[in-house]
Structure 1
């Protein structure tokens, strides 16, 4: 059973996150290992495996990048462990500019950091829209490239958050 089936969701990029969360809570109540204390060893093992599968599925589907990777995997394109680098030189140059900009920020740049962060969030939103369209059109190689970009953008967001903690906490 694939992750979308576990949560009774259509196998598509845009999902109902409210349904995902509520179904997750229901499934956790049903299959949580604490519920299986009085069961036999094999039944406890089965319940633990089911709970682990539910957790893995939930973590994958709630994250846009992991969800896109999973949809690619279902389509026969596995990019999870690949070492392939992105060939888009324009994006690679933009990456360098963003990194230089992050490195140049100081505690006096709070407004600039906020603006930068909003710009990056918009880039993430745009990429997610692009991924949804590419998956719908079954343009899997283009989707894979967009997912590679999204991975970078999400990592960049984490770096911005860490910078803000360092400078303003």
Structure 2
């Protein structure tokens, strides 16, 4: 079960990652971990010593590194899901039911961290939020995303008024399709802005995306009722 140091998970690029370190609680060895290219991501989770025990979570590793990816908004969702499933197949607490209390604790913490990382990166909106947070930017209620387009909020208000009247199912389906197109356009813009490092514009697009997501939730709720 613990012979993991030769398992390699897929990376979405060959960029160099930062280094981190952790001390194995079993053998007391200081592990200096450098994730570079297609390095073995499992070294973040298991010690390569003879004990092959699960490690305590590192404190300075970002969500992308935890799942074996370089930091980028554009991501292979299928590869992300494969990496997540692979990690959970080794880290899930059920795998440690007969191990020491400490290993049970660390496996639970690692599994929970991987869950959180995956749920954040799997969704375009939360992935963008996370990337902005990494450079010290956050989205607040005041961030409308209107920028140089003052008609945006008016259009959102009009759509909300239509939804408040509980339109027909056909109308809802058409509105939902249009809104999904708007979300797709936002994602394409975010790819460009994050790639170029234009975080100000990325934040503006994300502000608009927030409204589109609220509309989407409303439409889906009505379609399910």
My pick for the range that moved more, 118-127 or 83-92, is 83-92
Structural RMSD (CA): 1.5
User: 1:19 aligned to 55, 66, 79, which one?
Assistant: 79
SS at match of 1:136: helix
Q: Structure 2-normalised TM-score?
A: 0.68
Shift of 1:87: 6.0
1:94 aligns with 2:128: no
Residue 110 (structure 2) aligns with: 50
Shift of 1:143: 1.0
Structure with the bigger percentage of strand: 2
My pick for the range that moved more, 135-144 or 23-32, is 135-144
Structure exhibiting the larger radius of gyration computed from Cα positions = 2
Q: Which has the higher contact order (CA 8 A, sep 6+)?
A: 1
Q: Structure 1-normalised TM-score?
A: 0.89
Residues 145, 205 of structure 2: 8 Å contact kept: no
* Whole-Å separation in 2 of the counterparts to 1:141 and 1:87: 11
* Structure 2 gap segments, 5+ residues each: 1-60
1:35 aligns with 2:95: yes
1:146 aligns with 2:205: yes
* Structure 1 gap segments, 5+ residues each: none
Q: Find runs of 4+ consecutive structure 1 residues off by over 3 angstroms.
A: none
Give the length in aligned residue pairs.
162
Structure with the bigger percentage of helix: 1
Residue 26 (structure 2) aligns with: none
Shift of 1:118: 0.7
**1:83-117: per-residue Cα shift (whole Å, max 9, x none)?**
433262322111101101112343xx222221111
